[in-house]
């Protein structure tokens, strides 16, 4: 009886495992075969990560399982096997699909704004910030004497006395 109970639990699990194995087998049979050599396959993936999948535009063809992405991975695999370099393969893709297929667009006149834009913005923002600070400081310097000179002479004297009294004033704090 005990044996039968165990078997009753086991059989569905075994069946489930078999079903899973069969389904992954079917899935792998439909996708393109991987390169045999793991180092070669790593190289394929390295190149595939630089190429945008045009069907699902926010994925590289390495990440995507779209039909076209699989075909393009097959293309990369075959061209590597034929002794083509990474540069050759990327050029092959750009010739057919345009710069858009590259995740890192090349520097050209049409992409200058893309590459130089962030730096230009940073420099402009920095310059604007410096200019504002300078203006504010100048405004402060101009307004300080009038507002505090007459009415706060006593307060200033008290502050100076407090500062001199303070026992463990470090030079940094004084500065």
Partner 1 sequence: MKTKFAVPLALFLGLVVFFAIGLTHDPREIPSPLIDKPAPDFTLPQLHAQDQTLSLADMKGKVWLLNVWASWCAACREEHPLLVAMSKTRVVPIVGLDYKDQRPEALAWLQEHGDPYDVSIVDAEGRVGINFGVYGVPETFLIDQQGRIRFKHIGPLTRKVVDETLLPQIKALQNG
Q: Report the alpha-carbon angle 88-69-51, nearest 5.
A: 45
CB of 104 to partner 1, least distance (A): 16
Binding site for partner 1 (CB under 8 A): 54-55, 57, 67-68, 71-72, 75, 94-100
Place of tokens 């050599």: 37
Please provide the DSSP assignment of 120-151 as one string: HHHHHHHHHHHHHHHHHHHHHHHHHHHHHHTT
CB atoms within 10 A of CB 66: 15
Instruction: Pick the closer one to partner 1 by CB: 22 or 105.
Output: 105
Instruction: Pick the closer one to partner 1 by CB: 24 or 110.
Output: 110
3-state secondary structure of 55: coil
Phi, psi of 60 (to 5 degrees): -80, 165
CB of 100 to partner 1, least distance (A): 5
CB of 28 to partner 1, least distance (A): 18
CB of 45 to partner 1, least distance (A): 19
Instruction: Pick the closer one to partner 1 by CB: 96 or 137.
Output: 96
CB of 171 to partner 1, least distance (A): 39
Instruction: Pick the closer one to partner 1 by CB: 55 or 163.
Output: 55
Tokens for 78, please give them.
């075959």
What is the dihedral angle through the alpha carbons of 121, 125, 127, 133, rounded to the nearest 10 degrees? 180
Instruction: Pick the closer one to partner 1 by CB: 71 or 152.
Output: 71
């Amino acid at each position: 009886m005990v044996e039968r109970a165990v078997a009753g639990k086991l059989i569905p699990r075994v069946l489930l495992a078999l079903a899973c194995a069969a389904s992954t087998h079917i899935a792998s049979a439909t996708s393109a075969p991987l390169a045999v050599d793991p180092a070669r396959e790593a190289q394929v993936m390295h190149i595939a990560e630089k190429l945008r999948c045009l069907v699902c535009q926010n994925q590289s063809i390495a990440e995507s399982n779209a039909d076209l992405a699989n075909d393009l991975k097959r293309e990369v695999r075959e061209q590597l096997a034929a002794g083509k370099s990474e540069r050759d393969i990327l050029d092959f893709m750009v010739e057919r699909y345009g710069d858009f297929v590259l995740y890192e667009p090349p520097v050209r006149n049409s992409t200058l704004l893309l590459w130089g834009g962030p730096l230009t913005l940073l420099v402009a923002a920095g310059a604007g910030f410096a200019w504002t600070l300078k203006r504010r400081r100048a405004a402060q310097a101009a307004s300080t004497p009038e507002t505090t000179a007459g009415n706060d002479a006593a307060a200033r004297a008290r502050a100076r006395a407090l500062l001199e009294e303070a026992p463990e004033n470090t030079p940094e704090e004084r500065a």
